[in-house]
A and B are shown apart, each in its own frame.
Chain A
Amino acid sequence: AQSVSQHNHHVILSEAASLELGCNYSYGGTVNLFWYVQYPGQHLQLLLKYFSGDPLVKGIKGFEAEFIKSKFSFNLRKPSVQWSDTAEYFCAVSSFSGGYNKLIFGAGTRLAVHP
């Protein structure tokens, strides 16, 4: 069965620090990969997605992620975080065999950014 693993459950950073959140998935076929963000009191929003092509994808608010197929990873990065990035971040994967609209989510990473 497909699964998604997020390495860090809680991350605390100071403003301007760099961010990298790890995400690994277990599935050998063709996958679509996503990072969603849930700001306090708000609903899930898509940060970025990878379907095919350039493995380095850029999303909103300065976030980017790199798909490394050999490592089954899709890590999220941001060079300099802001207080407004405080939120919970979810990595998700879907596949043709599993159903492209069946998202398998990781457990999430709570990011707290201190001014």
Chain B
Amino acid sequence: KAGVTQTPRYLIKTRGQQVTLSCSPISGHRSVSWYQQTPGQGLQFLFEYFSETQRNKGNFPGRFSGRQFSNSRSEMNVSTLELGDSALYLCASSLALGTSGGDEQFFGPGTRLTVL
């Protein structure tokens, strides 16, 4: 079974630009979550999508947005990029078995975004 894939793997942008990152979950997984990883703040939850709906959201400004398509693929968009947005953006997928138990999340390799 193929793992979580993310494209592109590396991206360089300048301040003020916008960027779109893509994530393809493991086949059959319905939930996609996004995380930001930086040396200073560590791993922080951005948002989770399930059945094309945002189900949960972290404490990030509105410049960070996402969406999920009917095939469970997800995109994340960051508008008006700032230097501090430089980070590794990780996508994770899970089966989303329901609220009765926990879900194991499988992570992709990430997209390394550098903002100049």
Contact = CB atoms under 8 A, between A and B. Distances in A.
Do the two shown chains form a genuine complex with each other? yes
Interface of A: 32, 34, 36, 42-46, 49, 51-52, 90, 92, 94, 96, 98-108
Interface of B: 31, 33, 35, 42-45, 48, 50, 55-56, 58, 90, 92, 94, 96, 99, 101-110
6 contacts: A43-B108, A46-B105, A90-B43, A101-B48, A101-B103, A108-B43
B31 A43 contact: no
Contacts of B43: 90, 92, 103, 105, 108
**Which of B33, B55, B102, B110 has the most chain A CB atoms inside 10 A of its CB?**
B102
B109 A101 contact: no
Contact of B33 (A32, A36, A102): A102
3 closest A-B pairs by CB: A32-B102, A99-B56, A105-B43
Given A43-B90, A44-B90, A46-B104, A103 B109 contact: no
A100 B50 CA distance: 12
Given A43-B90, A44-B90, A51-B101, A101 B42 contact: no
Contacts of B44: 105
Judged by DSSP, the binding face of A is strand
A49 B31 CA distance: 18
B96 A101 contact: yes
A99 B31 CA distance: 12
B110 A94 contact: no
Contacts of B56: 98-99, 101-102
